[in-house]
Amino acid sequence: MTKPPGTQVVLSAAAVRQGGRLLSPARYRHPGDVIRLIIAGLVLLIALAVTAFTHATYAGASAVAVTAVVPAMLAGRVLAGLVQVLFVGAAAAAVIITLRYRRYRLLAGLAGGAVVAGAVLAGIVYLAGGERPRALAAGAGSWSWLTGASLAGPALLAVAVGGTVAAAPWLSRPWRRTAWIMLWLAAVVRLVTGTASPVEVVLAFAAGVTVGAGALVLFGVPDRRIGPAEIAAALGSAGLPVARVEPAAVSAKGSRPFTAATVDGGALFIKVLGADQRDADLLYRVYRFARLRGVGDTRPAASLIQAVEHQALAAVMAERAGVAVPAIRQVVKTADGSALLVMDQVIGASLGQIPGPDISDTMLRELWQQVDRLHRARIAHRSLRAANIVVDRPCRPWVVDFSFSELGAIEAALIAGLTGVGMPAGPAVSAVLLHRLATYWLPVAPGWLSWRVLQRREYV
């Protein structure tokens, strides 16, 4: 896919054009790494708490250990030796590949993360008492192919997990899947040979993921998201040829905003949602759940394209209800799986950027009229804040961003279904209203009277 001829691609000031991508040589913080960091950190804290309150089950002589296959046996020696060869081979491959492609910064980051992950788990073992159970100590003292079974100990398992997480953005999906399968198999081998306790394995994985995800959050990952060139190409393929695409100078929490100029001089606003935006949306929803009680957020859509289609549908329904919303032009799915929500651009500023003295009573009155139309159409915006109100040059307020909206228009859906099977609009509306009157409004009065009677008799 190539961009249409004559399309002008404009990058932001901090962007560097290379390979037609935005910020290609730079890095950014992937929201999924933040999620993994939070979850792994919580698991690590819980495991630490369990270790602290049940000290003897981890570091004492009577700690639990699985000894299904004793390392002194041939099967145990073979399994322990395979784990050691696997770890050593993976480390050697990582060093050779990074040196071959001169990725010295990546090699330094992997080495630093490995050292930190091993040190974290070693520190946990030391703080837990330092003494390993007799069964684990006996297993660690058995010799296998390379050296004692303690070589692939809990600290080394944490090193391997941390290195895998830190290197994941540079690995293809099949290699990532293979690496995690090998790690889980190594953990199972460590358990069945009695050279690691269950708590040690949990701590090793939690410490490794925490350190690896922390490194990615701290230093960022390669930015392979689509940029203006890919957006222009996708719009051209969808029948919307544009002459100019550039990042929008606005902030967004669940998408990447862009603006575009069509070949006929029109202005478009484009919301780009990718897999990372889905993670960012999940983080923001968790924040809203913790920060704002009772906002009534619905569950996230099952897929990215469904989430974009829901926003488009909510905006179209609001526009039909007379609400001032930017007209939706199209929903476009790109080659990399991202989704574009294309709409007309409103030239203006958000309500939060307008100084207080410049906000007139007429503007506020018209804004509340827009909100009233939303409510009459049974559309809950769920995120109606100053940043989602755009005021154009004639000082008219526009409602934008229906990411968290909910369509409660049951009557409208029923009417659309009846008219879709051939019933005229008038009888369809009458039938739906009679249905709602019989099923909802008529029981209200008897129900209220019964409730009052129960209250007077102090039954409730």
Q: Which residue has the higher pLDDT, 374 or 141?
A: 374
The pair of structure tokens assigned to 77 is 């020696």
Domain that residue 232 falls in: 8-20+224-344
How many domains is the chain built from? 4
The SS3 of residue 33 is helix
Lowest mean pLDDT among 2-16, 38-52, 98-112, 361-375: 2-16
Q: 110-120: b or e for each residue (b if 16 or more CB lie within 10 Å)?
A: bbebbebbbeb
Q: Is residue 83 part of a domain?
A: yes
Do residue 319 and residue 353 come from a single domain?
no
The SS3 of residue 294 is coil
Residue 229 burial (CB count, 10 A): 20
Q: To the nearest whole number, what is the mean pLDDT of the chain?
A: 75
Q: Kindly indicate the confidence band of residue 271, based on its pLDDT and cuts at 50, 70 and 90.
A: very high
User: CA 58, 64, 68, 69: dihedral to nearest 10 degrees?
Assistant: 40
The CATH number of residue 300's host domain is 3.30.200.20
Do residue 49 and residue 85 come from a single domain?
yes
Query: Average pLDDT of 115-141?
Result: 68
Q: What is the C-alpha separation between 127 and 143, in angstroms, rounded?
A: 27
Res 258 pLDDT > 90: yes
Q: Is residue 2 part of a domain?
A: no
pLDDT of residue 160: 86
pLDDT of residue 341: 93
Lowest mean pLDDT among 72-76, 210-214, 335-339, 376-380: 72-76
pLDDT of residue 295: 55
Query: Average pLDDT of 24-49?
Result: 81
Tens digits of residue pLDDT in 179-225: 888 888 888 887 777 777 777 788 889 999 999 999 888 888 887 88
Taking Cα atoms as reference points, which of 228, 189, 176 lies closest to residue 340? 228
Do residue 52 and residue 201 come from a single domain?
yes
Do residue 322 and residue 397 come from a single domain?
no
Lowest mean pLDDT among 18-22, 245-249, 314-318: 18-22
Q: What percent of the chain shows pLDDT beyond 90?
A: 12
Q: Which helix (H) or strand (E) holds 340?
A: strand 339-344
Q: Kindly indicate the confidence band of residue 270, based on its pLDDT and cuts at 50, 70 and 90.
A: very high
Question: Bridge-partner residues for 28, per DSSP?
Answer: 221
Q: Is residue 340 part of a domain?
A: yes
Tens digits of residue pLDDT in 284-330: 777 777 776 555 556 666 678 888 888 898 899 899 989 999 999 99
Do residue 320 and residue 310 come from a single domain?
yes
Res 108 pLDDT > 90: no
pLDDT of residue 398: 93
Apex 170 CA angle, 222 and 283, nearest 5? 55
Residue 388 neighbours by CB under 8 Å, 6+ apart: 350, 381, 399, 400, 401
Q: What is the C-alpha separation between 251 and 92, in angstroms, rounded?
A: 43
Do residue 47 and residue 169 come from a single domain?
yes
Query: Average pLDDT of 34-47?
Result: 88
Do residue 314 and residue 188 come from a single domain?
no
Tens digits of residue pLDDT in 145-182: 454 445 446 778 888 888 889 888 888 888 889 888 88
Do residue 68 and residue 172 come from a single domain?
yes
Q: Kindly indicate the confidence band of residue 445, based on its pLDDT and cuts at 50, 70 and 90.
A: low
pLDDT of residue 452: 61
The pair of structure tokens assigned to 382 is 């769920």
Lowest mean pLDDT among 30-44, 129-143, 190-204, 400-414: 129-143
Q: Is residue 126 part of a domain?
A: yes
Do residue 32 and residue 167 come from a single domain?
yes
Do residue 308 and residue 429 come from a single domain?
no
Q: Kindly indicate the confidence band of residue 128, based on its pLDDT and cuts at 50, 70 and 90.
A: low
Pick from 389, 407, 425: which residue ends a domain? 407
Pick from 327, 344, 361: which residue ends a domain? 344
Taking Cα atoms as reference points, which of 224, 190, 166 lies closest to residue 21? 224
Q: Is residue 320 part of a domain?
A: yes
Listed ranges 59-68, 276-285, 338-347, 349-358; the one with the highest mean pLDDT: 338-347
Q: Is residue 3 part of a domain?
A: no
Q: Kindly indicate the confidence band of residue 451, based on its pLDDT and cuts at 50, 70 and 90.
A: low
Taking Cα atoms as reference points, which of 189, 181, 255 lies closest to residue 225? 255
Res 226 pLDDT > 70: yes
Question: Bridge-partner residues for 341, per DSSP?
Answer: 271, 331
pLDDT of residue 420: 55
Q: Kindly indicate the confidence band of residue 450, based on its pLDDT and cuts at 50, 70 and 90.
A: low
Listed ranges 28-32, 250-254, 370-374; the one with the highest mean pLDDT: 370-374
Do residue 148 and residue 53 come from a single domain?
yes
Q: Is residue 324 part of a domain?
A: yes
pLDDT of residue 344: 93
Q: Which residue has the higher pLDDT, 245 or 450?
A: 245
Pick from 222, 237, 253: which residue ends a domain? 222
Res 261 pLDDT > 60: yes
pLDDT of residue 60: 43
Do residue 276 and residue 380 come from a single domain?
no
Tens digits of residue pLDDT in 381-407: 878 888 899 999 888 999 998 888 877
Q: Is residue 1 part of a domain?
A: no
Residue 446 burial (CB count, 10 A): 9
Residue 422's region, left for phi above 0, alpha for psi from -120 to 50, else beta, is left
Q: Kindly indicate the confidence band of residue 61, based on its pLDDT and cuts at 50, 70 and 90.
A: very low
